[in-house]
Chains A and B, each alone.
Chain A
Amino acid sequence: MENLTALQITTAIIGQFWPVWLALAVTFALSIRFKRRLGLYGKLFDSPVGMTGFAIVMFWVFTAIFASLIITHDPLTQLSGMKNAWPGAAVKNPGEGIYQHYLLGGDNLARDVFSRMVMGAQSVLSIAPAATAFAFMVGITLGLPAGYFGGRLDTSLSFAANLVLAFPVILLFYLLVTPEIQAAGPAILGWRASIPNVLAAVLFAFPIVFFTILWNSRFFTNPRQRNIYVGITLALGLWVYIGLAFNADPTGIWAMEPNLLNVFVSVVFVNAPTVFRIVRGIVMDIKSRDYVAAGQTRGEGPWYIMLWEILPNARGPLIVDFCLRIGYTTILLGTLGFFGLGVSPESPDWGSTINSGRKLLSQFPHPALVPALALMSLVLGLNLLADGLREESLKD
C-alpha cells in the first residue's frame, strides 16, 4: 500500500465525514427555508458571523452524534508498526475489513489519531453542555432570589459567590480530584461523604428544586394540574438524582463513574457563581418594570414573579452567555485532561490527547496538533455563535 498525499488525505477525511455534511445540509436548508418563523434562532441565519459559528458548532455536534460511523479504527486499538506514523501512512499488514490508512497518523501508542479526535468530540460534547446546564440551574436558582429580594440574602450569597471566584480554579480542581480528598469523609450506608460527593449531592438537587418551584408557583391555583407536573418532576428527578449523586439507582440506568463525577461537579461548582452574578444583575434591572409591579399588586408570590415574569425576559443575555460558557467549559475540560485530572488515561478526550502528544512535540507534532485544532475550532465556533446571537437579539 502506498502512503497518501496531502490531497488524498483531505479528500478521504472529507469523505469520511459524509453523515455530518448530510446532516448539516438538511439543518441549514430547513432553517433558512423557515427562518422567519423561528424567532431568534431564525434570525441567526441573517448574520454571516452567527451562521459560521452555528455551522462549526453543529459540525462538532453531528461529529459526536455520528462518531461511530466516521471513525476509521477503534480509538483504543494499537496496530503494530504504526507508532508515531505520519499522516496518510498506510497500515502495515491490514487485516480483513480494516481501513487501509491512518488518515492523520498514529500516536506514540500506535493508535489512529483521526479516530481518537472524532471520539474525543463525543466525550467533550457529552460533558461540556450538560455541565454548563447544571451551572445555569444553580446560578439561576440562587441568582433570582438574590436579585429580587436583595438585602441580607443577597449580601451573603454574593459573598459566597465571590469566595468561590476568588479561589484559583486549577488549585480547586486539584483539591477536588485528589484521591486523598476523595477518600476522606465518613461513610454513610456505603456512600462516602467526601467533599466531591457532598458537592454533587447538593448541586444535583438544584434542577429538581428549580422545576418543582417552577410548576408549583404557576399551577398552585389548580392543585390537580400542579400535582401532576410536580409529581412527574419529583419522580423523574429523584430517580436520576439518586443514580447520579449516590450511584444508587436500582435499575442501573443512571450512573456516573467517580472520575467523571468529580470533573462534572468541579466544572459546575466554578461556573455557577459567574452565572449567579449575571442573573442577579439582570433581575435587579427587570424587577423595576411595571409588569413586575402588576404581578405584585395582583398578589402573585415572589417565585412566580421571579420564574414566570422575570426569567423569560432575561433569556437573551442568558442564551448568549450559555454559548460562551460551553466554550469556557470545553477549555476547562481540556485543561483538566491536560493535567491528567479526572478522566481515565486512555480516554480519547482532547485535553488528555494533547498532553500525551506533548512529549514528542518537536519530532511528531501531529498527535497533539490535531486535537488542539479541534478544540480551538469548537470554542471559536461557540464564540462566533454567541456573537451572532447577541448581535441579532439586539436588532429588530
Chain B
Amino acid sequence: MADWTPDQPILEIDNLSISFFTRLREIPAVMDFSCSVMAGEAMGLVGESGCGKSTVALAVMRYLGKTGRITEGSIRFKGRDLTTMSEAELARIRGSEIAMIYQEPMASLNPAMTIGAQLAEVPMIHEGMSKADALKLARQIVADVRLPDPDRMLASYPHQLSGGQQQRIVIAMALMSKPALLILDEPTTALDVTVEAGIVDLVKDLGEKYGTSMLFISHNLGLVLEVCDRITVMYSGEAVETGAVAEVFNTMRHPYTQALFRSIPLPGADKNSRPLVAIPGNFPLPHERPQGCNFGPRCDYFQDGRCNGADVPMADVGPRHESRCLRWSEIDWDAPIAARKTHEKTPVGEVVLRMEDLRKYYEVAGGGVFGGGMKKVVKANETLSFEAREGETLAIVGESGCGKSTFAKVLMGLETATSGKIMLYDRDIQNTPIEKRNVDTVSGVQMVFQNPFDTLNPSMSVGRQIIRALEIFGQGASDEDRKQRMLELLDLVKLPRAFADRMPRQLSGGQKQRVGIARAFAGGAKVVVADEPVSALDVSVQAAVTDLLMDIQRENRTTLLFISHDLSIVRYLSDRVMVMYLGHVVEMGSTDQVFQPPYHPYTEALLSAVPIADTHVKKNRIVLEGDIPSAMNPPPGCPFQTRCRWKSQVPGGLCEREVPPIRDLASGHQIKCHLPAEVFATMEPVIQIAAE
C-alpha cells in the first residue's frame, strides 16, 4: 500500500487468464487480459454475451465460485495484488474500497430489511460507525442519488420501490463507504430507457463528484460513449482493442470493433438504402476457439496461414490505444463499406388490419381474504385506432406498462376487446377468441416472441415444432409433404437443414429466433406481430435477424407490427411509428414525422434517452423525472402530465383535468397533446448530426 501513489493506476490487470473447470474439461473464459484504470477514470468493458466481460469483473472481486480459477496474471488494486490476498483481507476491501452493482437490483437487496438498515450496515461493518451516524450518512447519500423523500425511502422495504428506485438504492449502497473503484455490471439492462437515462446521468455525475473510478460493463456501445472515458472491447475471452472512447469510436483499429459498429443502426441508416452489415457466422464456444486470431473465421480481412497461425499479441497503435490484430497497419480503415445490396422501398398495398377505438379494460380484485372487496379497473388500452397496410412495417414504441403486450394479446385473440373493432380484411375479430377463429384467421395473424430462450419448447426437436405448426394450420397433405415444407422453411430462415433434428438447447439465441420466425410463417402469415424480436440478442446477431425478417416481409408482402422500445432499430426499419404511453397512443405518423419536431413531449424524451453510439451525434439531453405511473392508478387528465416538461406551457392546468384530444398536425401525423400549435413550432430536433 505504501508504494502506491494516486498518479498510478487504481486498478491494473496484467495478463490475466481465468479458467472454469468442469468435469469434462478446462474451459478458458478469459485469456491474456490486460487493462488499467486511473483514478477518477471510467473504463467501459464492451462485448457480446459470453465474451468474458463479467468474468473479469468477478475476478476483480475474487468471486469466481468453486469452479473458476485465476490461472495466470495479476490484478493489482492500489498496488496490491488481489490474486494472492487472503479471504480476510479481501473481505475488508470488498464493499469498502471496491463496490459492485449488478444488473438485477431486486437480487442485490435483502427483501426482509428496510432500505435504511441495509444502507447503514455498510459503514457500521467497515468503519465501525454508530448506527445513528450511519443512518444520517445513509439519508445524505439517498438524497445524493436523487431519490425523492429520503426519510420515507429509508423506512421502506425493497418491494415497495420501483425498479429504477431500487437501482438507485443499490448505487447508494455502493457509495456508502466511498469506494475507490465501482464495478457496474450492466446496471441498466433491466430498466426502461427513460429510467435508464436518469441512472446513467446519475452515475456520470457521481463519478465526477466523488472521484470514483469505474469499471462499466455493458453490451451497449451508446451507453459506454455516454459514461466512459476509455473503452476495452472484448471478443471471445480476449481484449481485442482498448483506447480512449472517442478514438476507438472514430478510428478503430480492429476488424471486430469495426464490424460491431457496422451492425448497429445509427441515425440516418435506412433499411432500403443503407442496410446493416451483419457479422457472418457465430460466436465460437469457449472450447471450440480457432487457432490464432479468435475473430479470424468471421473476419473480412482474414489471411490464411497468418491470422490462423500463432496467438496474436496486443500491438500499440497509438498513445494508450492497442489492438489485437496482426494486420492493423495494412487495412484501409477508411475504405467505404463494400457494395451492399440495396432494395427498392416496397410499395404498400391495401389496408389489411384496421383498429377502431379499441379498448381493453381488466377488472382486478382489490385484495381481501377471499377475493372480495373493491374491484379495480385497469385500463390497459384506451381508444386505439390505426390502420396497417399490406407490406407495411408499423412500429409500436413504448416502455413497460404502456399496453403494447395487451394490444398484441387482443389482436391474437388470447383476450377479447372490451369495446371497439378489429377488422382483419373484412372480418370483425375483436370478439372472437382464438378457439373460435377459423384456421385461416389464426394462421394469418402470427407472432414472433421476445425471449429466444423461451420461445421454443426445450423438449421438442426443432423440426417437430415447425411440423406441428404446419399440422395445426392444415398445411401439406401428408407427413412427407409437411416434412418437405419444414425443410423449406428452414431454408427460408437460412438455417442448415440438419437443424431439424436438433434440440433447442443446441442452438444459439439467434438461431432459436430464426426457428421462431419460421414457425410464425408456417401458415403463410399475413400479419406478423414481432414483440421485441431482437432485443435479447447480441448486437452482431441482431442485424442478421432483423435483415432476415425484412427479407421475408419483402417477399411475402407481410404486414409487420414491430413492437420495440429501441428507437434506433425502429427508425431503421419501420414505415410508420405509433408511440404508446400508459395505454394511450400519444403520437402516430410516418417515421420521418415522428422522428422530427414537432414531437409529443414523451416522444421527445424517449428520443433523447436512447444512447447512440456515434460521436458525431449531438443530443438534446432531456431526462424525465420519476417513474412510469402504475396502470392500476393512472394520473388524472393527460397520462404523461406527471413527467412532462412542457406542462407549464398549457394554460389553466388543463393537462391535469382532461385527457387531450387527438390532433392531426400533418397528413397522417397525430398527436395527443394540449400544447398549442405555437409551442409545437418552437420545438427543436433532439438528435442532430454534427457536420464532419
Contact = CB atoms under 8 A, between A and B. Distances in A.
B23 interface: yes
A294 B451 contact: no
A289 B447 CA distance: 14
B454 A291 contact: yes
Contacts of A289: 454
B457 A291 contact: yes
A297 B434 contact: yes
A301 B442 CA distance: 13
Interface string A177-211: 00000000000000000000000000000000000
Contacts of A312: 457, 459-460
Interface string A194-238: 000000000000000000000000000110000000000000000
A313 B456 CA distance: 11
Interface in B459-494: 459-460, 468-469, 471-474, 479
A299 B516 contact: no
B459 A299 contact: no
B459 A315 contact: yes
Given A296-B434, A297-B434, A313-B459, A290 B472 contact: no
B439 interface: yes
A290 B449 contact: yes
Nearest to B446: A297
A29 interface: no
Contacts of A313: 457-459
A294 B474 contact: no
B414 A296 contact: yes
A312 B464 CA distance: 14
Contacts of A308: 460
Contact of A290 (B451, B460, B473): B451
Contact of A222 (B449, B454, B455, B471): B471
A32 B516 CA distance: 37
Interface string B227-245: 0000000000000000000
A396 B23 CA distance: 10
Interface string B427-446: 00000001101010011011
A313 B413 CA distance: 26
Contact of B455 (A221, A291, A298): A291
Contacts of B442: 297-299
Interface string A87-110: 000000000000000000000000
B454 A299 contact: no
A391 to B, nearest CB: 12
Given A294-B519, A313-B459, A300 B472 contact: yes
A38 interface: no
A294 B455 contact: yes
A98 to B, nearest CB: 52
A300 B479 CA distance: 19
Given A46-B23, A222-B471, A298 B446 contact: yes
B450 interface: yes
Contact of B516 (A46, A294, A296, A301): A294
B456 A291 contact: yes
A315 B457 CA distance: 13
Contact of A293 (B443, B449, B474): B449
A300 to B, nearest CB: 6
B588 interface: no
Interface size class of B (residues with CB under 8 A): 20 to 34
A98 B387 CA distance: 93
B624 to A, nearest CB: 30
A301 B433 CA distance: 12
Contacts of A296: 412, 414, 434
A299 B471 contact: no
A336 to B, nearest CB: 37
Contacts of A46: 23
B472 A298 contact: yes
A169 B516 CA distance: 49
Contacts of A293: 414, 447, 449
Interface string A145-175: 0000000000000000000000000000000
A309 interface: yes
Contacts of B455: 290-291, 294
B449 to A, nearest CB: 4
A299 B437 contact: yes
Nearest to A225: B479
Nearest to B434: A299
Interface string B10-25: 0000000000001100
Nearest to A291: B457
Nearest to A312: B459
B469 A298 contact: yes
A121 B314 CA distance: 68
Which of A291, A293, A300 lies at the interface centre, i.e. has the most chain B CB atoms within 10 A of its CB? Answer: A291
Interface in A279-305: 289-291, 293-294, 296-301
A221 B439 CA distance: 12
A308 B469 CA distance: 13
A222 B471 CA distance: 8
Contact of A221 (B435, B445, B454, B472): B472
Interface in A245-297: 289-291, 293-294, 296-297
Contacts of B451: 290
Contacts of B473: 298
Nearest to A289: B454
Contacts of B468: 298
B457 A299 contact: no
Contacts of A290: 449-451, 454-455
Interface string A20-59: 0000000000000000000000000010000000000000
B472 A309 contact: no
Nearest to A300: B472
Contacts of A294: 447, 449, 455, 516, 519
Given A296-B414, A297-B446, A221 B474 contact: yes
Contacts of B414: 293, 296-297
Contacts of A396: 22
Interface in A291-344: 291, 293-294, 296-301, 308-309, 312-313, 315
A301 B472 CA distance: 10
Interface in B401-415: 412-414
Interface string B310-346: 0000000000000000000000000000000000000
Nearest to A288: B454
Contacts of B474: 221
Contacts of A298: 442-443, 446, 468-469, 472-473, 519
A50 to B, nearest CB: 14
A299 B439 contact: yes
Interface string B276-299: 000000000000000000000000
A39 to B, nearest CB: 11
A291 B451 CA distance: 10
A121 to B, nearest CB: 34
Contacts of B454: 289-291
Contacts of B446: 297-298
A298 B325 CA distance: 48
A291 B462 CA distance: 12
Contacts of A291: 454-458
A289 to B, nearest CB: 5
A299 B435 contact: yes
Interface string A345-374: 000000000000000000000000000000
A290 B405 CA distance: 13
Given A222-B479, A293-B449, 17 more contacts: A46-B23, A290-B449, A291-B455, A291-B456, A291-B458, A294-B449, A294-B516, A294-B519, A296-B412, A297-B442, A298-B469, A298-B473, A299-B434, A299-B442, A299-B443, A315-B459, A396-B22
Listed from nearest, the 6 A-B pairs whose CB atoms lie closest are A312-B459, A290-B454, A299-B442, A290-B449, A221-B471, A291-B457
6 contacts: A291-B454, A294-B449, A297-B447, A298-B473, A299-B439, A300-B472
Interface of A: 46, 221-222, 289-291, 293-294, 296-301, 308-309, 312-313, 315, 396
